Amino acid sequence: MEKDKMIGELIRLVGRENVLSSAMHFKLYEYDASMIRTNPDCIVLPTSTEQVAAVVKFAHDNKIPVVARGTGTNLSGGSVTVQGGIAVVLTQMNRIIEMDIENLRVVVQPGVITLDLKNELAKHGYLYQPDPASEKVTTIGGNFGENAGGPHCLKYGVTSNHVLGAEVVLYDGQVVEVGGKALDNPGYDLPGILGASEGTLGIVTKATLRIMPKAEAVKTMLCIFNSIEDGGNTVTAIIGEGIIPATLEMMDSFVIKAVEEAYHIGFPIDAAAILIIELDGLKDGMDRLTERILAICRQNNVREIRVAKDQAERDKIWVGRKGAFGAVGRLRPNYLVNDGTVPRTRLPETLVKVVEIGKKYRILIANVFHAGDGNLHPLILFDERDKDELERVHAAAAEIMKVCVDMGGTISGEHGIGVEKLHGMFLIFSSRDIDAMWKVKAAFDPANLFNPGKVLPETEKAA
């Protein structure tokens, strides 16, 4: 369809004020937090499920790709329009529809900002657990699309463990409800299939989430190590003792320095690694558990342990951890984040290999990671204008992904496949496995118009 006609039709469907199509707007929506940039043909910001349904039906009838978008912070190319089409930005649908506190459920629109929801719940003494470091700016819809994780997902599970139901717009504009408020819903686990589907199966217009009461007590420890291996071994030993803290987050010396320069937290800039261990739960027994953890740290050569005395000190530590990408991002024009996952016992040797890869390709790699989950985040720093360096960065990223798989891990812990890791899917799945996923895709999206070019690589059969 001719572009002007398409824009005219979309204005008719959702109103002029909800359609963007100027050159400046195309620039603003051409990217996410990956390295891929492509212009949509039009941007719509619907304000209701009915508007989303009308846009999707129009796109389906006219064979136009549709890409759902939250705030565009995903790191794998999930919300760029690689085949053009309509970017459906859900940020105006940002209402908390229902707070069913007694039943530990909330119902929200997809554009609600994750931290806004948490702040609202905190007023009642409750919590929505998933906490991507980007929670200040990301949407619940985007978190669901990527199955986002975060520091506290070690103990509480990733986003899909907290989404019980959803209202979804299907490929032809029909609106259906999947799942519900119960913990185990009858029938197929469609919320499970939709979570992490990166907008390739439908558009979520409402989500039913599980919430929890805030813990009675929290203890946050900053453990400082002179060697990254000791930090990694501490993580393995804590979990090996049967202790699952709320968080086990690690940073290497490069990240510690970057964070310190950016935020002046008081992190030790001469340390090789720091481990942030947070416990939450009942007050009773927490001191005993803390002692056991401190003993494990000492057995693994911890240099110093600082226990946060109050909420202000705790917040300071988390500002450093959650701001780590931003701090490192100040050092070079670009960074690429890998997020391969390995069995946590193999973290120390994987880190050694990551360092070797950095040396081999002459690039800077900073490491900050969800150590408890074995989820690495090597941040590769570079300047994309230097084509030679860019090539080395891509080669290094591919090699790190392969190392994670060889260690018995996988290519992504939480950042999704998008476009950037499409080729990596063959490292963990056979063509037959991927064809099975294409069958799911075909059932939800027969014309392949929902976010085409993402998640599933072409196989001989699928092509």
Ligand X SMILES: Cc1cc2nc3c(=O)[nH]c(=O)nc-3n(C[C@H](O)[C@H](O)[C@H](O)COP(=O)(O)OP(=O)(O)OC[C@H]3O[C@@H](n4cnc5c(N)ncnc54)[C@H](O)[C@@H]3O)c2cc1C
By the criterion CB under 6 A, which residues form the site for ligand X? 32-33, 67-75, 78-79, 90, 110, 132-134, 138-139, 141-143, 145-146, 148-150, 198-199, 203-204, 325-326, 414-415, 451
Question: Residue 446: is it exposed, middle or buried by C-beta count within 10 angstroms (0-12/13-18/19+)?
Answer: exposed
Strand partners, 337: 379
* Choice between 133 and 190, CB closer to ligand X: 133
CB of 169 to ligand X, least distance (A): 8
Smallest separation (angstroms) from ligand X to the CB of 93: 8
Burial 95-113 (b: 16+ CB within 10 A, else e): ebeebeeeeebbbbbbbbb
Our CB check for ligand X shows the closer of 132 and 268 to be: 132
Closer to ligand X at the Cβ: 140 or 302?
A: 140
In the complex with ligand X, which residue's Cβ is closer, 268 or 374?
374
Give the nearer residue to ligand X in terms of CB position, either 208 or 451.
451
Q: How far is the CB of 214 from ligand X (least distance, A)?
A: 20
Shortest separation between residue 143's beta carbon and ligand X, angstroms:
4
Is the CB of 389 or the CB of 414 nearer to ligand X?
414
Q: Which two tokens stand for residue 108?
A: 């929200």
Helix (H, G, I), strand (E, B) or coil at 383: coil
- Min dist. Cβ of residue 166 to ligand X (A): 8
Instruction: Pick the closer one to ligand X by CB: 139 or 208.
Output: 139
Give, as one character, the DSSP assignment of residue 347.
H
Which residue in 89, 136, 102 sits closest to 116, CA to CA? 136
Dihedrals φ, ψ of 400, to 5°? -65, -40
Q: In angstroms, what is the minimal distance from the CB of 242 to ligand X?
A: 26
- Tell me whether residue 149 is exposed, middle or buried, using C-beta atoms within 10 angstroms of its C-beta: 0 to 12, 13 to 18, 19 or more: buried
Q: Which of 141, 35, 19, 111 is nearest to 383 (CA)?
A: 35
Minimum distance from CB of 268 to ligand X (Å)? 23
**DSSP helix/strand/coil, 212:** strand
Dig out the tokens for 79 from the structure.
């919300």
Can you tell me the distance from the alpha carbon of 433 to that of 248, in angstroms, rounded to the nearest whole number? 33
- Length of the chain counted residue by residue: 463
